[in-house]
Structure 1
Amino acid sequence: MKWLRHAWRSEKRRFLIVGAWNTLFGYLAFVAVHLLFGRAWHPTATVVAAYCLALPQSFLTQRLLVFQRAQHDWRRQFLRFLGSNSAIFAANLILLPLFVAMTDTSPLLGQALFIVGSTVASYLVHKHYSFAG
């Protein structure tokens, strides 16, 4: 637990720790929706459903644990967060079906790869826009 207390002192490390949780939560939501409806739904519909499940949880953890901006207006932050995440989400909507069609691989692999690139973009946009003071 000592390493966790040490890691928690840094915003970037908190982002990685909380982001790992949020990523796991979001990916598990994607997997659950895919396993429940994947044969009947287009991968884009699966992404949309998982996004709707993961977004509120992600907002709360980023706001309260990473950027610690509870004293600021949550509605404004949520709108910025929603806009920021929606831009990344739109890229996901475009890139996932293209990846699946071009490579003939599983949407699960495509989504896992997208997560890597979106992590860096997410930190930067939330730090400098969504939760900026």
Structure 2
Amino acid sequence: MQWLRHLWHSEKQRFLIVGAWNTLFGYAAFVAVHLLSGGTWHPTATVVAAYCIALPQSFLTQRLLVFRRADGDWRGQFLRFLGGNSAIFVANLILLPLFVTATRIGPLLGQALFVAGSTVASYLVHKHYSFRRLTP
């Protein structure tokens, strides 16, 4: 149990653990939306709907568990979180096809590279923007 406390002590490690959970939750939301729509929705519509379901849950886990920011204006934090996550989400939608076409790397490897880069970007955006400590 000591190793778990040590692991949870680091903000970066909490970010990775919570991020893994949020990824699983987001994928489960995607599966649920896909199944509830009977598979008739375009995959992009399914992704967007799942994103709308997963985003509030992700905000709460990042806010409370990773950055431990139960204080402050949650609405402002949520809007900044939404902006940061949405920018990364849109960048993925635009850049992945361009990257795959330009490099001839397969989409699975291309997306894996994007996930690695976007994980770092997401941590920095949320630490220094979404959940920054405002000084009076």
**Residue number in structure 2 paired with 1:118:** 118
Extract unaligned runs of 5+ from structure 1: none
Q: Tell me which structure has the larger Cα radius of gyration.
A: 2
**Residue number in structure 2 paired with 1:60:** 60
* Equivalent AA in structure 2 for residue 12 of structure 1: K
Q: Which moved more, 1:83-92 or 1:32-41?
A: 32-41
- How far apart, CA to CA, are the structure 1 residues paired with 2:119 and 2:34? 22
Extract unaligned runs of 5+ from structure 2: none
The CA RMSD over aligned residues, in Å, is 2.8
Q: Check if 1:49 corresponds to 2:49.
A: yes
Identity of aligned residues (%): 77
- Give TM-score scaled by structure 1 length: 0.80
Higher relative contact order (Cα pairs below 8 Å, separated by 6+ residues): 1
Q: Structure 1 pair 92/34, CA: closer, same or farther in 2 (3 Å)? A: farther
Q: Indicate if the aligned counterparts of 1:23 and 1:115 stay in contact, CA closer than 8 A.
A: no
Q: Structure 1 pair 90/69, CA: closer, same or farther in 2 (3 Å)? A: same
Q: How does 1:87-126 map to 2 (within 5 A)?
A: 87-95=87-95, 98=97, 113=112, 114-126=114-126
**Residue number in structure 2 paired with 1:28:** 28
